Structure 1
Amino acid sequence: MTLRASFALTILFSGLPVLIALFDRRETWPRRAVVILVPLITAAVVLRTEQILAKSDPQAKWWLPTTLFTIHANLIAQQMDEDIARGDCGPHGCEWLHEVSASLQEEIEKSRHLPKSWRSLGFDPDYLMYGDSLRPWRDRFFDGDTDRQLHFEMSYYLRTARMHPGRIAAKVMQQMAQFYLGYKQSFLATPRVKLARRYSRALDVLQPHLLPSYPPFTHYVEKLKNLSFTKATLDQPVLVTVAGALLCFLFPPIFFATLGVVCFLSSDLRRLYGSFAVVVLFAFSYSFGNCLITAIVHSLDVTGYIIVQYSFVLLSEWMAILFLVEIGMETRRPRTEVCANHKGC
């Protein structure tokens, strides 16, 4: 579900050329109607199917409010303290809100000492979301009513975003920096992967949940338990590792250099390479949209959100390298010709 959400803006950006083409005067209204109606009908079918399936999935309405609440738990705790200080505590009163705030801060502090504490957030939201952290809240603060708890979580996230949009924006920028300032990239991979660790991690993800009594799934879990002790490894060629590390190191300067060159293209270069520049920016928009929606809803501390972008980040980086080389050669060409005729160059 989280990965699907992370591609929401990617889909929007990928459809921009089609949307722009709709405004072409040469397009007829029937063609425009087809282009508009087909995605709308498809989206309606997908969303309706989602609604039907959500009725039998108790986590469907739980995931979004709880994710937003736990990912922004530190900011929400600050907002609660400010509300208590002002006496703006809502219908439950300041004493009740103080207990909730104290419980939240206590759980955040516990998560800071876990080995999985997320680097950018400074605590472990997975502990709050999946562990025995906020689960007792339903009975302790909400009289056993899950819907009331979910409403409270979503309401306080929205209140925090409304009262302090700067804090939310700072969190988003901090998350984006993980990708665009270079210390977390799709290409960076270890030369040796210990499979036992990966199987153990998959097993850890399943353990907190109530596992279904389904023979194939039970067999799968047993297989994971056995494989979590395997000595097998996946060895990556050294050349691939070095190339990945180099691409990881070069991505931020290439990205920002491309933006700078595009912004300051001369009229002649814009005429020659304007279309190429648009295509390169379009390629970069895939990863930008993916990172942006992830930064808003979740966190790029989760490596999966980075790895899943590997193919189109690799494509966009090589396109940008080609674009910069072309611009450099075209910029250098007049000077080379002048130097050929003037020995003093």
Structure 2
Amino acid sequence: MSASGEPVTLPDSSAARMSPPSTAHEPAITDLCSWSAVAGVLARTAVQPLDTIRARVMVSSKPLSIWETLQRAGTESCARYHRRLGRFGAFVRSLYRGYTISVLVQAPAVATYLTVYEKTKFALAEFEAASRTSPHRRPLIDLSASSPWNHLCSGLAAETVSAVFWTPMEVMKQRAQVATCDADATLRTLARRLWTEEGARALFRGYLLTIGVFGPYAMLYFVTYERLKRWWSRFLTKSESLPSWSILASAAASGAVAAACTTPLDVLKTRLQTTRLAAGERLSLWRMASALVREQGYQALLRGLGPRVLWIVPNTAITMTAFEYFKAQASSRTVSTASLEGVAS
């Protein structure tokens, strides 16, 4: 996104819907990975404190407001950080627990996530176009680039593949975020304790649950996001471009809807991944959910809804706006290069 409001080119515009997709216009996989990695790290840096608040509210044994969570963050830092950084510095450090873990994994995770989404969306659109011209292959559903079915399938594929990165990150990051002391939240301490007490398998605890939470989230998010972008394109302009602020608004609104709808699943995932178990010990998700509802009521499944939405909205807005901006810049450079080559020839 540029300060001058430079428009962002829609990846599946009305012109693209009129003809089958062409591999000549498909972004290179290296470019997709680079753009999405940078966008993901920028977003993570901005929203890490909100994610920390979300995790602490969700694992609390009693309802906590955001203000109460912030007050606790100021008192849970170790004395040595109070002396070295001051009260405010220790407070900020407490909110950024798990940041190192997040950044190390965020780049490959977001790169995989958005690259798989874009590549799957493009491949499904090509399959749809080929099927339309073949009398022997008729798709059961519409998989064109503008179809919600395409966005739904692409979102699920993106989450399933990228969960290989997200799951270990979530396990380590959330344990750092809910630790009662900064000394217990370092990457080295967490890794050593997890390895010796629970084994390497603990890194992937909740992998299927991560897909169960963020699979529906990604499906709902991308369907809503693509619909909103198309609505903006009809409402604002007849060209193939959208202003950057409309991309920002579409990503934020889609993130809010998807985050709110999947909060109960995220509560269970967060509790499962932050529970310490002995090596070989298993924790039934159903048993944990039943105990939570029995002890704290059904409202416990919505605990952290506010912080989760407040975390995801700016995270998705920053990530997608930056990603679309980088993609638009690369597309404009490609078009300019092609034009120059055409003139030269």
The normalised TM-score by structure 2 is: 0.26
Larger RCO: Structure 1 or Structure 2 (Cα < 8 Å, ≥ 6 residues apart)?
A: 2
- Bigger Rg, structure 1 or 2: 1
Between structures 1 and 2, the one with greater helix share: 2
What TM-score results when the alignment is normalised by the length of structure 1? 0.26
